[in-house]
Amino acid sequence: MSFKWKPPGDKLLLREITESEQHGLLTVVNNTSGLKKGIILSVGKGLPEYEMSVKEGDAVLYKKEHAEDVIVEGEVLKLVQERNVWFPINNDE
């Protein structure tokens, strides 16, 4: 999966996963903290002192208040700093 738009620095471009797309991914019980699930479409280059630990295609949890809405090619996506994603929820490991 390669997305042509790259976010700056330590930012990630995510597409929020809808309930119908979850396919057995981690379920958040009693989600009062506003956790959302997303798929990483694009990863910034990181910062000189910080190496990015996630990759394109990873499914992650993030808090909605840490995400900025951006419109890319007519689609509303989320821009989040990597430190604000909780952890990858991959099925391939």
The 10s digit of each residue's pLDDT in 29-77 is 556 567 888 999 999 988 888 788 888 988 888 888 899 999 988 999 9
Give pLDDT, residue 93: 46
Q: pTM of the entire structure?
A: 0.79
Place of tokens 């000189």: 48
Place of tokens 């208040």: 65
Would you say residue 78 has pLDDT above 90?
yes
Give pLDDT, residue 67: 94
Q: Which of 54, 57, 53 is nearest to 15 (CA)?
A: 57
